[in-house]
Amino acid sequence: MIAPEDLEFAGTHGRLVVRRWPHPEPRLVVLIAHGYGEHSGRYIHVADVFSSYGAVIYAPDHAGHGRSDGDRANLSVLEDMVTDLRALAALAAADHPWLPVVLVGHSMGGIIATRYVQRYGGKDLVALVLSGPAVGGNPALTMLLEFDPLPNIPIDPTILSRDPHVGQAYAEDPLVYHGPLQRESLQAFVTSARAVAGGGSLAELPTLWIHGEDDQLAPLAVTREAIERIRGPRLQEKVYPGARHEIFNETNSAEVFADILEFLDRTLTDVP
């Protein structure tokens, strides 16, 4: 595995730290947008898969996450995270002007990736991969807005994966936000779901939507409703029976990665 190097650039809310995995002979660029409360360091094994496939990878810590500046895990700036990702994509394109670009978004990163395509048209991308995207919101979380103050309910690590080591590593990670969900962040989830619903389709962009059947953070049923509103004619989907929210960290992750690479094989064949 090629070791990552750190890049820094000025984002909308201060310094953004980006992990970049170089490649001696890259054939594509992969941008990875991580989920709520976490950071790009949790995607080292994901980057390893894409690096073996021939990718140079750029994975930012979003504003307020990981080592980047900003209020901790404040999702009221989610649209600014989209703007930051666009700036990073431009940086990656300048470094590798002839390479196709694939955007991968997990959970909150799935919202960011979807809004990226809706706002900018996806013309600079050849493919989109959405992993457990929180594009439909979560009714159980939305109900918490009725309480004042909000109950202190941090994410339960056990619902992330059937592999208990994943939850343990998450709970012990000092760069993960372990605090309670803020009211403005919870409201931002609702606002983001509405923005996705009214933001237009994914059009002709080849898209792979993958999801765990037992995802409690981005429930399958409400996510499917959102996907049906925005799907384009080139969207493919796969649901993994029994899998939870972090399918990149699930017990069947090898199957998940194989499906992604097969999708990329088919997609990149059509790229001039």
Which residues form the catalytic set? 107, 215, 245
Residue 127 · residue 117 · CB < 8 Å: no
Read off the amino acid at residue 114. T
Burial 152-166, CB ≥16 within 10 A → b, else e: eeebebeebbbbeeb
Place of tokens 């590593």: 169
β-strands 207-212, 127-131: how paired?
parallel
10-2-175-146 Cα dihedral, nearest 10 degrees: 80
CA distance 222 to 206: 22
Q: Half-sphere exposure of 101 toward its Cβ, with a 13 Å CA cutoff?
A: 24
